[in-house]
Amino acid sequence: MNAASLVRTAIVVMALLVGASVLAAELDVIDMRHLEAPGGNVEAGREKAAVCTNCHGENGKAMAPLFPSVAGLPESYLYWKLMAFKQSTRTDSVMTPLVSANTEEDLRDIAAFYASLPLDAPSTLVPEPVDDAVLERGRNLFLTGDTATGTPPCQGCHGPEGAGPPGGKPFQHAWPALRGQPAMYVSQRLTNYQAGYAIDTSQDKIMAGVARHLAPEDIAALAAYIERIGH
């Protein structure tokens, strides 16, 4: 990425962040901009996460393509996403009944446990075959975005290797890694963002703006590329 592209990316990301902060206050979503680490107990979380392994695996890697892998994601991100599920009033939220009985301490511990696992832990899922042209489209969107539609590159927030933002600035502590996430899960999340569904946090507001102009084939290409990063 050249200097001009970096400047454009920074401008777009900052605009999205400012817009999300305003909307976070207006719509009463969880503000995830300046978060301190929840400070959970890893060993306690290992025991409390026993039920989570049915979907997310013992090593934090998804057991089915519609579920996310949670190994190595930021502790703050995991904790506040769990809190969003706990506070949700959506009747179709699978996670809400699973975490409703957990205390905030339980969720801090579970988040700490999964954050302690290797991001690139082995996965049992095998990516579906896709054409090289699809992967190239996904790679271009991830690394450079699409100036024609105003879509910023994913790497601006999630890092060029999908491992999260480099530098670890305080406002980035809850920005998740994407590498290796199942394509079906990524596709569903991007589609949900476009539809305005499950917008629980300021990050969700950002992503709703990012995904707004993605065509279905762009979503499929991005999802396929992200699934293969790190493989």
Two structure tokens written together for 49: 């996460």
The pLDDT score that the predictor gives to residue 230 is: 83
- Concatenating the DSSP letter of every residue in 101-123 gives T--HHHHHHHHHHHHTS-TT---
- List, in order, residues 6 or more apart from 55 with CB less than 8 Å away: 62, 63, 64, 67
For 151, phi then psi, to 5°, come to -90, 120
What is the total residue count of the chain? 231
Is the C-alpha dihedral spanning 198, 204, 210, 216 positive or negative?
Answer: negative
Round to whole Å and give the CA distance between 37 and 121. Answer: 23
The pLDDT score that the predictor gives to residue 173 is: 84
The pLDDT score that the predictor gives to residue 10 is: 47
pTM (predicted TM-score): 0.88
Q: How many CB atoms lie within 10 A of CB 104?
A: 13
Tens place of pLDDT for every residue, the chain, 231 residues? 454 444 444 444 544 544 444 444 445 799 988 777 899 999 999 999 999 999 999 999 999 999 999 999 999 999 999 999 999 988 888 999 999 999 999 999 999 999 999 999 999 999 999 999 999 999 999 999 999 999 999 999 999 999 999 877 888 888 999 999 999 999 999 999 999 999 999 999 999 999 999 999 999 999 999 999 987
